């Protein structure tokens, strides 16, 4: 059982106790609380069910019912109880987080990620065990839906909380190797590769430089031709040694000339060097490799705009916005492009959207440890 009660009693604290209405609800709710305190779980579940039927607005009752059902692996029932809770309290970060964990177990993965994200945005509380569980599932789900960079960012947060174990290594390896799958679907023949990549990713997340280099040395020695290994290493190197990073990305392109993420990263690296011609070359190759990859259109549009060709750049940025409307940086680039084109109202709209999305992103990444708002 994860230690939900340790932080989530905050959910009940500060709430007014159910109105002192004499009768069935008062009696049953007290019995439910006593049964839970005595660890009489089946009795407590039954009593909480009775109590919320008598008073459907009792948020504390829905919370403890959902928590107890989750701890008993009764995920569908827990999900239903917690949906009642979040309908009553849209500010319950722990409620959304636990709902997402239930939905993960009932294989409602898209809803699970959305609710976990909302829980992270609202705040998970201070208990490290709870935060580790929630953030681990965020890594898994972000990877499953192909949001690999976001998954690795969240992995760094789990590392700060001391997350360890084979399951974390597997999740890290899948994100690092850009495999949109769940850990339970890893095939036996892939376990060693994913384990080695996961060790490298975890060492990176822990800012363990020696451990990262050792893990990459083992990974590259054993699997020099595995997909995304050179890409993973190249993106690691780019921060400190651009030339070495570009060489690794080029090796990935030798194995897969249409590796859109590698092409995109090379475009960004050459842009940072001030080599617009090279950057545009790789950005165009990225768009050709995968027209549905929003980041390629975003980079190409920004490069074209920055070189003065906003007439061609704006449509690329608009396509990136259409493909991924929730990415703040695209709106920022569009605001600049519209400004160059003299489209003041469009520029103002995009700036406003950028600020709104950036605030939401900052809240998600920065409020995970906040206590439940009272």
Q: List, for residues 176-216, the tens digit of each pLDDT value.
A: 999 999 999 999 999 999 999 999 999 999 999 999 999 99
Question: What is the average per-residue pLDDT within 10-39?
Answer: 74
Classify 220 in phi/psi space as left (phi over 0), alpha (psi -120 to 50) or beta.
alpha
Q: Which residues contact 11 (CB under 8 A, 6 or more apart)?
A: 59, 60, 63, 92, 94, 95, 372
Q: Calculate the alpha carbon distances from 299 to 42, 258, 309 in Å.
A: 56, 16, 13
Tell me what pLDDT residue 9 has.
44
Q: List, for residues 343-364, the tens digit of each pLDDT value.
A: 999 999 999 999 999 888 777 6
**CATH architecture of structural domain 258-367:** Alpha Horseshoe (1.25)
Residues 47, 53: Cα–Cα separation, whole Å: 10
Residue with tokens 């906040």: 370
Q: Which residue has the higher pLDDT, 334 or 374?
A: 334
Q: List, for residues 50-93, the tens digit of each pLDDT value.
A: 999 999 999 999 999 999 999 999 999 999 999 999 999 999 99
Confidence class of residue 227 from pLDDT cuts 50, 70 and 90? very high
Tell me what pLDDT residue 125 has.
81
Cβ proximity of 144 and 112 under 8 Å: no
Question: What is the average per-residue pLDDT within 264-276?
Answer: 95
Tell me what pLDDT residue 220 has.
97
- The two three-digit tokens of residue 157, written as one number: 């947060």
Residues 77, 88: Cα–Cα separation, whole Å: 17
Q: Which residue has the higher pLDDT, 164 or 213?
A: 213
Q: Which residue has the higher pLDDT, 79 or 164?
A: 79
Average pLDDT, the chain: 91
pTM of the model: 0.89
Q: Is the pLDDT of residue 245 over 80?
A: yes
CA-based end-to-end distance of the chain: 25
Handedness of CA 151, 154, 158, 160 (dihedral sign): positive
Residues 233, 153: Cα–Cα separation, whole Å: 16
Q: Calculate the alpha carbon distances from 29 to 44, 59, 65, 276 in Å.
A: 10, 12, 11, 68
Decide whether 1-122 matches 258-367 in CATH topology: yes
Q: Is the pLDDT of residue 10 over 90?
A: no
Q: Hey, is 76 helix, strand or coil?
A: helix
Residue with tokens 């605030």: 359
Tell me what pLDDT residue 83 has.
98
Residues 70, 364: Cα–Cα separation, whole Å: 24
Q: Is the pLDDT of residue 13 over 50?
A: no
Determine what percent of the chain is predicted with pLDDT higher than 70.
91
Residues 4, 372: Cα–Cα separation, whole Å: 12
Determine what percent of the chain is predicted with pLDDT higher than 90.
84
Question: What is the average per-residue pLDDT within 251-280?
Answer: 96
Tell me what pLDDT residue 162 has.
82
Residue among 270, 234, 240 at smallest CA distance from 252: 234
Cβ proximity of 245 and 238 under 8 Å: yes
Length of the chain (residues): 374
> Where are the chain's structural domains?
1-122, 127-224, 258-367
Handedness of CA 78, 81, 84, 85 (dihedral sign): negative
Q: List, for residues 281-295, the tens digit of each pLDDT value.
A: 999 999 999 999 999
Tell me what pLDDT residue 18 has.
45
Q: List, for residues 99-157, the tens digit of each pLDDT value.
A: 999 999 999 999 999 999 999 999 998 888 889 999 999 999 999 999 999 999 999 99
Q: Hey, is 342 helix, strand or coil?
A: coil
Residue 129 buriedness (CB in 10 A; 0-12 / 13-18 / 19+): middle
Tell me what pLDDT residue 19 has.
46
Residues 16, 113: Cα–Cα separation, whole Å: 31
- The string of DSSP codes covering 205-226 is HTT-HHHHHHHHHHHHHH-TTS
Tell me what pLDDT residue 126 has.
81
Confidence class of residue 2 from pLDDT cuts 50, 70 and 90? low
Q: Which CATH class is domain 1-122?
A: mainly alpha
Tell me what pLDDT residue 210 has.
93
């Amino acid at each position: 059982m994860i230690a939900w009660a340790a932080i989530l009693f905050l959910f009940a604290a500060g709430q007014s106790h159910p109105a002192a209405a004499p009768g069935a609800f008062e009696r049953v709710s007290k019995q439910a609380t006593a049964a839970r305190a005595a660890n009489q779980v089946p009795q407590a579940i039954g009593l909480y069910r009775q109590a919320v039927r008598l008073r459907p607005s009792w948020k504390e009752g829905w919370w403890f019912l959902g928590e107890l059902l989750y701890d008993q692996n009764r995920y569908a029932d827990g999900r239903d109880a917690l949906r009642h809770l979040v309908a009553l309290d849209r500010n319950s970060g722990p409620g959304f987080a636990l709902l997402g964990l239930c939905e993960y177990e009932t294989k409602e993965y898209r809803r699970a990620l959305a609710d976990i994200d909302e829980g992270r945005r609202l705040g998970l509380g201070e208990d490290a065990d709870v935060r580790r569980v929630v953030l681990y599932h965020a890594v898994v789900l972000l990877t499953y839906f192909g949001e690999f960079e976001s998954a690795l960012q969240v992995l760094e947060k789990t590392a700060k909380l001391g997350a360890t174990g084979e399951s974390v290594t597997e999740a890290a390896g899948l994100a690092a190797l850009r495999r949109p799958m769940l850990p339970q679907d890893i095939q036996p023949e892939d376990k060693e590769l994913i384990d080695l990549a996961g060790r490298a990713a975890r060492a990176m997340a822990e800012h363990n430089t020696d451990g990262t280099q050792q893990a990459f040395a083992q990974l590259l020695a054993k699997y020099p031709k595995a997909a995304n290994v050179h890409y993973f290493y190249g993106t690691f190197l780019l921060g400190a040694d651009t030339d070495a990073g570009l060489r690794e990305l080029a090796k990935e392109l030798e194995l897969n000339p249409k590796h859109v993420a590698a092409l995109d990263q090379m475009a960004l690296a050459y842009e940072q060097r001030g080599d617009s011609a090279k950057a545009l070359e790789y950005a165009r190759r990225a768009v050709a490799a995968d027209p549905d990859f929003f980041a390629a259109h975003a980079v190409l549009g920004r490069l074209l705009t920055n070189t003065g060709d906003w007439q061609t750049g704006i449509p690329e940025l608009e396509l990136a916005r259409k493909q991924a409307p929730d990415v703040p940086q695209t709106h920022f680039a569009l605001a600049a492009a519209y400004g160059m084109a003299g489209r003041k109202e469009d520029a103002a709209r995009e700036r406003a959207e950028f600020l709104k999305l950036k605030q939401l992103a900052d809240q998600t990444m920065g409020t995970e440890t906040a206590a439940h708002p009272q």
